[in-house]
């Protein structure tokens, strides 16, 4: 059964329609990527799920229930955590405090501050320092740790490789695979094909707000890649 499903979705900001008839699904335990160049509507897929872009047609379902949209304020409680583009670490709060912000009291599971420190030991070392004082890669770990604190069924990551050095991206890929192996479904929005290849089993390509290609990652041609993402 699909954990997240978008069926025939059109979405808009005001009068500007950005998504056109988008259908996609992520099943329990799956690792799925959305690929596409800048401005094609990748973030808008997430924004539509969260009610931040207006759903004009079609429906969104989460956990088998049609929800219209999963509202931002209730997403974590429903089992959906988002690592937003740009990380959005809260200034003025320590690493530990940023982690606590992600907790959803009703969600039971393995993720606690200690468990996040186990996955990303650097966060333990920096626990009492301001989150924004860390490097880009460390802030990305913090953003992922904060999202995990809600013990999500599905983790959506929006361009997590942005601004990171290749070696850090590689490490990020290893950690995402570990998370998936531990049972968290992953929807990875990315332009960095190296990271996608490491993490995802299945992909969708978005172009001008529509799904123009989908399939198993192993079947993605070099020609499509060059056309739709940076390689
Ligand atoms: N809040 C908004 N109001 C109006 N238009 C928006 C808003 N956010 C995004 N758009 C427009 O919607 C289109 C899709 O943007 P979106 O951010 O979903 O693309 P993206 O594929 O995630 O690109 P990027 O990788 O640059 O973030 C773009 O033309 C963008 O200018």
b or e along 70-103 (b: 16 or more beta carbons within 10 Å of the residue's beta carbon)? beeeebbebbbbbbbbebebeeeebbbebbeebb
Q: What's the whole-number mean pLDDT along residues 139-168?
A: 91
Residue 34 Cα to ligand 1 middle (Å): 15
For atom 4 of ligand 1, the residue with the nearest CA is 13
Mutate to test the pocket of ligand 1, among 9, 10, 16 (most ligand atoms within 8 A of CB): 16
DSSP 165: -
Q: In total, how many domains does the chain have?
A: 1
Summarised one tens digit per residue, pLDDT across range 11-24 is 999 999 999 999 99
pLDDT confidence tier of residue 69, bands split at 50, 70 and 90:
low
Adjacency order of strands within the sheet including 54-62: 16-27, 2-13, 54-62, 65-66
Separation of alpha carbons 74 and 187, rounded Å = 19
| CATH code for the domain of 114 | 3.40.50.300
222 pLDDT more than 80: no
User: Which two structure tokens, joined as six digits, stand for 174?
Assistant: 């290893």
Task: Give the residue whose CA is nearest to atom 2 of ligand 1.
Answer: 13
Q: How far is the CA of 47 from the centre of ligand 1 (A)?
A: 10
> What are the DSSP E strand ranges found in the chain?
2-13, 16-27, 31-35, 54-62, 65-66, 80-83, 154-158, 185-190, 202-207, 210-216
Q: Is the confidence at residue 218, as pLDDT, over 90?
A: no
Burial 175-211 (b: 16+ CB within 10 A, else e): ebeebbeeebbbbbbbbbbebbbbbbebbbbbeebeb
Decide: 57 and 131 in contact? Cβ < 8 Å: no
Strand partners, 215: 203
pLDDT recorded at residue 163: 83
Residues lining ligand 1, Cβ inside 6 A: 13, 16, 18, 36, 38-44, 85
pLDDT tens digits for range 127-136:
999 999 999 8
Q: Whose CA is nearest to atom 23 of ligand 1?
A: 39
Q: What is the span of the domain harbouring residue 150?
A: 2-228
| 213 pLDDT more than 80 | yes
Mean pLDDT to the nearest integer, 218-227:
79
- Ligand 1 centre distance from Cα of residue 209 (Å): 10
Mean pLDDT of 149-159: 94
Query: pLDDT at position 20, please?
Result: 97
209-229: average pLDDT = 85
Mutate which of 9, 17, 43, 207 for ligand 1 pocket (most atoms within 8 A of beta carbon): 43
**Residue % of the chain over a pLDDT of 70:** 97
Q: Taking all residues of the chain, what is their mean pLDDT, rounded to a whole number?
A: 90
Q: Note whether ipTM > 0.90 here.
A: yes
Q: Name which residue sits closest to atom 3 of ligand 1, judged by CA.
A: 13
Phi, psi (degrees; rounded to nearest 5) at 129: -95, 160
Evaluated on CA atoms 21, 213, 29, 158, the torsion sign reads negative
């Amino acid at each position: 059964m699909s954990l997240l499903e978008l069926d025939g979705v059109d979405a808009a900001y005001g009068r500007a329609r950005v998504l056109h008839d988008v259908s996609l699904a992520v099943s329990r335990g799956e690792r799925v990527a959305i690929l596409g160049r800048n401005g094609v509507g990748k973030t808008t897929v997430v924004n539509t799920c969260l009610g931040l872009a207006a759903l004009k047609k079609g429906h969104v379902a989460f956990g088998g229930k049609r929800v219209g949209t999963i509202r931002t304020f209730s997403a974590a409680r429903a089992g959906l955590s988002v690592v937003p583009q740009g990380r959005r670490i809260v200034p003025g709060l320590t690493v530990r405090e940023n982690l606590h912000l992600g907790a959803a009291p009703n969600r039971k599971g393995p993720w606690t501050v200690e468990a996040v420190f186990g996955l990303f030991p650097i966060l333990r070392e920096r626990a009492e320092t301001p989150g924004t004082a860390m490097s880009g890669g460390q802030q990305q770990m913090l953003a992922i740790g904060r999202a995990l604190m809600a013990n999500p069924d599905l983790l959506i990551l929006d361009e997590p490789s942005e601004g990171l050095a290749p070696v850090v991206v590689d490490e990020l890929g290893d950690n995402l695979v570990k998370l998936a192996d531990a049972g968290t479904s992953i929807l990875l929005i990315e332009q960095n094909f190296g990271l996608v290849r490491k993490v995802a089993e299945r992909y969708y390509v978005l172009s001008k707000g529509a799904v123009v290609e989908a399939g198993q990652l192993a079947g993605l041609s070099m020609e499509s890649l060059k056309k739709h993402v940076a390689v």
